[in-house]
Structure 1
Amino acid sequence: MADSQAAPETTTARPVAPLPEGTCPPGTTAALVLDDGTIFWGQGAGAKGVAIGEVCFNTSITGYQEIMTDPSYAGQIITFTFPHIGNVGTNPEDVETTTPAVRGCILQAEITDPANWRATRHLNDWLEGNNLVAITGVDTRRLTRRIRDGGAPIGAIIHDPSQKIDTHALQTMAASWPGLEGMDLAKEVTCAQTYSWDEATWVLGEGYGLQQDPKYHVVAMDFGAKRNILRCLAAAGCRVTVVPASTSADDILAHEPDGVFLSNGPGDPAATGEYTVPVIQKLLASGKPMFGICLGHQMLALALGATTHKMHMGHRGGNQPVQDLETGKVEITSQNHGFVVDRESLPDGVIETHKSLFDGTVEGIRVEGKPVFSVQYHPEASPGPQDSHYLFKRFIGLIAESR
């Protein structure tokens, strides 16, 4: 695969002659056009229309519904490297938010019919019902290599059964999109008002549990929180109060929490941090136990004096190896992030606790002498391995010790 400086290329299922502008190869009803002019033709799925965003890839082999409802994907178009998407259908339980924030998805094969006892709806119908544009028939291996070698591009996908596709216009749209760096997307996916959460984790044959006898009260700052994080907190013995991202420290402390949780979320942590870092700093000064995940981890680091930067292509998938530097244990983790904390910027008293075994980047920190820690990855999984569920118990342990 040529690098990102090479001339734009067109990917099709079969060789075609040059086309007049506004038309597409026979049998195709969709296209992905990257900001550098690269074109991938395919067949449309889901909603009709155009979607623009950063094109990333996810290597998970299951859990596509949870992935597409993860609010951390706001502003992004997901390329699934696993080819058989749609095989388990969709259902009303496997969702991480009510309204998906992802822009669309890119698939190698046509969406397959569901073959799972929990399926209640075809994936194509679900995509259409959630106004998500998709394209199938794309060489996702080639696209993934393009992202790996050249970084995450901006792309526009179009689904138009009339086959009137203006690729020049789509390239202009993609090239004009500002990109995620400097973009505050937490404000788009955070809750509108404070609410209580008591739903616990899912059990086969029983569905989701209910926390009826909580021992502790946790306030969760919602920067785009996945539901399964809140379920894990409830299952660990917490009454959870979820507050909008812009909530002040005084309002959070007025809830008299035993601990504060900083959720995952999308966008550039430095942009969101403009209004959340001062709040987190006041919460740190209060002495309350704190636990952050993903964007929450990054903003905790910013509040402690560290810096972050955008990654070349990010980490997205359920097979990411992380080492606990304090025990030597290796965990296989679920991840979804495009920004990372700069190791060299960590101030004295902030200890790096976990690192990626893929690229060595920072995956976890703690504050020396304080009940405060965070991780870059997703211990709640959904989808993915549950190697890191112990972190919720660690948070509860710190709460118990501080009371």
Structure 2
Amino acid sequence: MKKHTSTEAILLLEDGTVFRGKSLGEIGITGGELCFNTGMTGYQEIFTDPSYYGQIVITTVSHVGNYGVQHKEVESEQVQIKGLICKEFSQHFSRNTAEGSLQGYFEAAGIVGICEVDTRALVRHIRDKGAMNAVISSETTDLEELRKKLAEVPSMVGLELSSQVSTAITYELKPDEVKFRVAVLDLGIKKNIINNLVSRGCEVKIFPYNTPYEVMEEWNPDGYFVSNGPGDPAASTDAVRSVQQMLEKNKPMFGICLGHQVLAEANGIATYKMHNGHRGLNHPVKNLITGRCEVTSQNHGFVVDGDQLLNHPQVEVTHINLNDNTIEGIRMKGKPAFSVQYHPESSPGPHDSGYLFDDFITLLEQNK
């Protein structure tokens, strides 16, 4: 691909809708599932979140790139999104601590994007029509060629993607004073989740997505953590099998996002693809146990089927979304296992939900 020069770019949606704008990042063609994030800050954390793998992100904030990039704000070691759509893309940045521009960052990562698009019209369109695939091109504006490229983009339904973002090797991180050992099943984990565990005294060993349960148990952990990640949870059959075995062992288990959905699937509760997912920093969630409400950071396109949780003998609902009443948290009855759909590690986002890591620590203390 050629290096970036300001040029015409085109966005072609699965339903045939076309938007035109200017190129950003690399000159080329990219495809993925469209989704929008309503956060006003934290774009670098969003772009490096493995849960966005396979997706083209629309940012609803007016300006992107204005504060540059710095390495300490990444959630993984590479850009995970397939492309970016925004209104105003800033080639320059004003933050003194920034290590470079977002344009340079995208060029180095080979990310194709489009700016100067009416993002309000685009978001309203997919809000009504539902999530769909799309292609961005700054290489050609030939619609017939782009339709062929679009036809090659796989549907997110039934797609297993943890294998694309999980660690390839097992590794360990530990605090100065180790209180607990936690085995982490990496389905696409964010760095700040690991930071939250380590800062609370957990030595963590991070295992690849398809690690057999027996291999993790050989390390003799005090508990298990099942991470966030991309793709259809129903396709994460290896993870579902491992979680079922974790539950039989009766050790504390905590799941976030895809880990939450996998816990549901492990209990025979189905998940389904939403008309449009939840992605942003201001989603209201009610904790049904305490009665308190939280402002949460979210990123998911699938959700646990609430109807199948009614009167479930092993699982109860702990959190609900106040916008649409979808399931945001569950826990096992009689077992030290729980999960949430949203992101209590707050990267980016508010810190209302950090107590969930403390709840996990309490379970580890009670069961050690």
TM superposition score category, shorter chain reference: over 0.9
1:159 corresponds to: 138
> Does structure 2 retain, via aligned residues, the 8 Å contact 1:220–1:241?
yes
Within-5 A mapping of 1:118-133: 118-133=97-112
* In 1: Cα distance, 2:277 partner to 2:66 partner: 27
* In 2: Cα distance, 1:117 partner to 1:394 partner: 38
Secondary structure of the equivalent of 1:125? helix
Deviations 1:160-179 (CA, angstroms, capped at 9, x unpaired): 3xxx4212221232244221
* In 2: Cα distance, 1:82 partner to 1:112 partner: 16
Deviations 1:29-73 (CA, angstroms, capped at 9, x unpaired): 211111121111111010111110001000000000000000000
From 342, 361, 364, the counterpart of 1:396: 361
2:193 corresponds to: 229
Q: CA deviation at 1:117?
A: 2.3
1:323 corresponds to: 286
Work out the percentage of aligned pairs sharing the same amino acid.
47
* Structure 2 residue identity aligned to 1:142: A
From 38, 43, 66, the counterpart of 2:22: 43
> Does structure 2 retain, via aligned residues, the 8 Å contact 1:111–1:136?
no
Deviations 1:223-258 (CA, angstroms, capped at 9, x unpaired): 000000000000111011000010111111101101
* Structure 1 residue identity aligned to 2:290: T
2:299 corresponds to: 336
* Structure 1 residue identity aligned to 2:198: A
Instruction: Name stretches of at least 5 consecutive residues in structure 2 with no aligned partner.
Output: 1-5
State yes or no: 1:363 paired with 2:328: yes
1:301 corresponds to: 264
* In 1: Cα distance, 2:314 partner to 2:247 partner: 13
Instruction: Name stretches of at least 5 consecutive residues in structure 1 with no aligned partner.
Output: 1-26, 199-210
State yes or no: 1:184 paired with 2:147: no
Alignment RMSD (CA, Å): 1.1
State yes or no: 1:353 paired with 2:318: yes
Secondary structure of the equivalent of 2:217? helix
> Does structure 2 retain, via aligned residues, the 8 Å contact 1:52–1:155?
yes
> Does structure 1 retain, via aligned residues, the 8 Å contact 2:7–2:138?
no
From 324, 341, 344, the counterpart of 1:379: 344
2:37 corresponds to: 58
Q: CA deviation at 1:304?
A: 1.2
* In 2: Cα distance, 1:246 partner to 1:175 partner: 29
State yes or no: 1:264 paired with 2:228: yes
> Does structure 1 retain, via aligned residues, the 8 Å contact 2:47–2:81?
yes
1:288 corresponds to: 251
* Structure 2 residue identity aligned to 1:222: D
* In 2: Cα distance, 1:64 partner to 1:147 partner: 21
User: What TM-score results when the alignment is normalised by the length of structure 2?
Assistant: 0.96
Poorly superposed stretches of 4+, deviation over 6 Å = none
> Does structure 2 retain, via aligned residues, the 8 Å contact 1:28–1:41?
no
1:173 corresponds to: 149
Q: CA deviation at 1:390?
A: 0.5
* In 1: Cα distance, 2:160 partner to 2:89 partner: 34
Larger Cα Rg: Structure 1 or Structure 2? 1
